[in-house]
Amino acid sequence: MRFWAAALAATWLLAACSHKEVDQPAKLAPIKATLRVRKIWTASVGGFHLFNFWGFGDSKTRALLLGLRLVVQGERLFASGHDGVVAAFNARNGRQLWRTDTHIPFGGGPALYGKLMVLGATDGQVVALDADTGKVLWTVRLPDAVISSPGVSARLIAVRTIDGVLHALSPKNGHELWETQQHMPSLSLRGAAIPVIADHMVISGFANGKVLAVNESDGSQMWLATVSQPTGRTAIERLADVHGAVIVAGKDVYTVGYHGTVDMLALQSGQPWWSHKASSFRGLALGEHAVYMSTADGAVEALNRKNGAVIWRQPALRYRSLTQPAVSDDAVIVADYQGYVHWLNKRTGAFEARAETGGVRVSNPPVVIGNEVVVINDVGDITAFRVSPRR
């Protein structure tokens, strides 16, 4: 009930505090495709439809935004739905390998480490399964909802709950090892960053605009960096959430915040190497030479990895509620609130292809597997595409 109250209160406040008309999503203009995109298989892990009393759109568009993203391990693709279904598929042909119905309201995951799969739920449960068979290994309950993927390593499972607490659990049985917390503002965007485990640290963003790195052994603070500084007169203007997972590349950390900046930080100290003003409630994608971002207003940007300078900006998808980008050999891929998937040229940002997935919002990032791209929409429908150059 606390989870639903927070979600509805945030929605009401966003509407009540707005003094301008809602920005209308950009209409999609025809493109000249340079890539050939072919749908090769579909599957489903069920779905969840939000309350009908909101009174707009059909039932498929009223989906609850959760961190139920796809994850790939070798030739296997894993997915979960809010109604409790977890399944493994052959990533090349979509053949179902196993399916488990837990009847648990999943909100975040799955996450994998070897044969261990972990998911979090909107009722606070954290569930571990055998990734080879789908057998439930253990279940524990945390005090608040989990709506993002856990971070998993051999030593611990890191879970963010929506009350701003970072929990560390034992992979063997879910026993809590430690917890740490950041102050939560009175109003925040509904969500929670995915904790990242790297170099014996757990690193996570928080709704107060901070990125915290703690020692994986005991949860003691290693460093704390400010990515978004709350400013403005109203609670809406002071929103400063860091919702996207950080990206660790070598000795560097890349992160972005809402009403804040994109930053490249030193892994060991949190010291900023460069900072670029930005606003995004999605995570980043990292290429060989660039950092890619979906901004809060729906543009896609490429920034130089070395100094944060803008390489290109594609504004044609403004206010289409884009996902975190994914990166293939030749393209940057994002999906939107109508279920369209867009391929952009990595060097210029020009459109290279577009495909439909059925008209339902896609909130979680596409997954790239070689020359294939797989997406899951907010009601648990999975679509796989094969991409090749046009001849």
DSSP string of 61-101?
G-B---EE--EEETTEEEEE-TTSEEEEEETTT--EEEEEE
Nearest partner of 96 among 107, 106, 105, 85, judged by Cα: 85
The position carrying tokens 């109604």 is: 83
- Asked if the model's pLDDT at residue 193 lies above 90, the reply is no
Give the percent of the chain with pLDDT over 90.
76
Q: How far is CA 251 from CA 190, 198, 254, 267, 271, in A?
A: 30, 10, 10, 5, 11
SS3 54: helix
| Sequence letter at residue 89 | F
Strands 381-389 vs 372-376: parallel, antiparallel or unpaired? antiparallel
Full-model pTM? 0.89
Q: Specify the pLDDT at position 9.
A: 43
- CB-based contacts of 113: which residues, under 8 Å, 6+ apart? 152, 153, 154, 171
Q: Average pLDDT, stretch 254-274? A: 94
Alpha-helical regions (H) of the chain? 2-17
Give the percent of the chain with pLDDT over 70.
85
The tokens for 138 are 């253990």
User: Dihedral of CA 249/251/227/69: which sign?
Assistant: positive
Ranking 1-5, 52-56, 256-260 by mean pLDDT, the lowest is 52-56
Q: pLDDT for 9-36, tens place per residue?
A: 444 444 444 445 678 999 999 999 999 9
Cβ neighbours around 345 below 10 Å, total: 17
The position carrying tokens 């998937």 is: 341
The residue ranges of every structural domain in the chain are 67-181
Up-side HSE of residue 223: CA atoms within 13 Å toward CB?
Answer: 14
- CB-based contacts of 60: which residues, under 8 Å, 6+ apart? 49, 359, 360, 379
SS3 52: helix
Ranking 3-7, 201-205, 313-317, 380-384 by mean pLDDT, the lowest is 3-7
Whole-angstrom Cα Rg for the chain: 20
Q: pLDDT for 277-294, tens place per residue?
A: 999 988 999 999 999 999
The tokens for 292 are 């890619």
Cα–chain-centroid distance for residue 320?
16
- CB-based contacts of 154: which residues, under 8 Å, 6+ apart? 113, 114, 171
SS3 261: strand
Bridge partners of 334, per DSSP, are 342
In this structure, what DSSP letter does residue 57 have? S
Q: pLDDT for 98-150, tens place per residue?
A: 999 999 999 999 999 999 999 999 999 999 999 999 999 999 999 999 999 99
Up-side HSE of residue 366: CA atoms within 13 Å toward CB?
Answer: 30
The position carrying tokens 């490429």 is: 302
- The CATH architecture that domain 67-181 belongs to is Beta Barrel (2.40)
Q: How far is CA 13 from CA 19, 49, 75, 332, in A?
A: 12, 22, 44, 34
Asked if 364 contacts 27 with a C-beta cutoff of 8 angstroms, the reply is: no
Integer Cα distance of 193 and 191 in angstroms: 7
| Sequence letter at residue 201 | M
Q: Average pLDDT, stretch 366-382? A: 97
